[in-house]
């Protein structure tokens, strides 16, 4: 499988890609964003029919730890934002990036560095905004945090870096 640049993950023209093909594109990405590397991002599954993704994270205490050795809350929010944004990208047929306009995170228990699983899904996809939700779990399946967000789907060609 060849390496795929992040800009090749999305396009201006909707593509008919299987869930497996989208997953393969994420796995083949040769230059993931720095935030994804910091969070230990690894795509687990894509379900276009349900507008849902599952993502593994494995942050290190050195990168994201607070003084108590837990994952600092801003990084927990960043993991949830990744899940929700990627769910939006797959809902667009990989034609849009989905910048977050606003986000609310509820922290239910501390997240410890190490393996975590995030789930993101699109609740409503509109013409100009979309509404997403996400949850973050520890290895034992305990819910650590929940988030909801409003985002603005933006065609990749119009997104300003």
Return the CATH number at 35: 3.10.129.10
Please check the confidence at residue 1 and state whether its pLDDT lies above 80.
no
Is the residue at 51 inside a domain? yes
- Predicted local confidence at residue 118, as pLDDT: 99
Domain boundaries, position 151: 6-158
74-112 core/surface letters (b: 16 or more CB in 10 A; e: else): ebbbbbbbbbbbbbbbbbbbbbbbbebeebebeeeeebb
- Predicted local confidence at residue 15, as pLDDT: 58
| pLDDT tens digit sequence for 66-96 | 999 899 999 999 999 999 999 999 999 998 9
Is the residue at 1 inside a domain? no
Is the residue at 17 inside a domain? yes
Is the residue at 75 inside a domain? yes
Please check the confidence at residue 7 and state whether its pLDDT lies above 80.
no
Is the residue at 42 inside a domain? yes
Non-local (6+) Cβ contacts of 61 within 8 A are 69, 113
Is the residue at 62 inside a domain? yes
Of the candidate ranges 4-8, 43-47, 51-55, the one whose mean pLDDT is the lowest: 4-8
Please report where in the chains the tokens 């023209």 appear, as a residue. 13
Is the residue at 65 inside a domain? yes
Give the global pTM: 0.87
Please check the confidence at residue 5 and state whether its pLDDT lies above 60.
no
Asked if 158 and 135 count as a contact pair (C-beta separation under 8 A), the reply is no
Count of domains in the chain?
1
Is the residue at 149 inside a domain? yes
| pLDDT tens digit sequence for 87-130 | 999 999 998 999 999 999 999 999 999 999 999 999 999 989 99
């Amino acid at each position: 499988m060849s390496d795929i640049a992040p800009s090749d993950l999305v396009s201006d023209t909707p593509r008919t890609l299987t869930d497996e093909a989208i997953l393969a594109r994420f796995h083949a990405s040769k230059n993931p964003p720095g935030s994804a590397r910091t969070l230990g991002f690894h795509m687990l599954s894509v379900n276009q029919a349900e507008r849902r993704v599952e993502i593994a994270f494995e942050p290190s205490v050195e990168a994201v730890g607070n003084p108590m050795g837990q994952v600092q809350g801003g990084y927990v929010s960043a993991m949830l934002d990744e899940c929700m944004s990627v769910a939006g990208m797959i809902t667009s047929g990989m034609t849009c990036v989905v910048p977050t306009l606003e986000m609310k995170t509820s922290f239910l228990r501390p997240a410890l560095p190490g393996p975590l699983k995030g789930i993101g899904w699109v609740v409503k996809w509109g013409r100009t905004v979309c509404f997403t939700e996400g949850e973050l779990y520890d290895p034992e399946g305990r819910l650590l945090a929940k988030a909801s967000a409003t985002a603005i789907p933006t065609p990749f060609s119009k997104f300003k870096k």
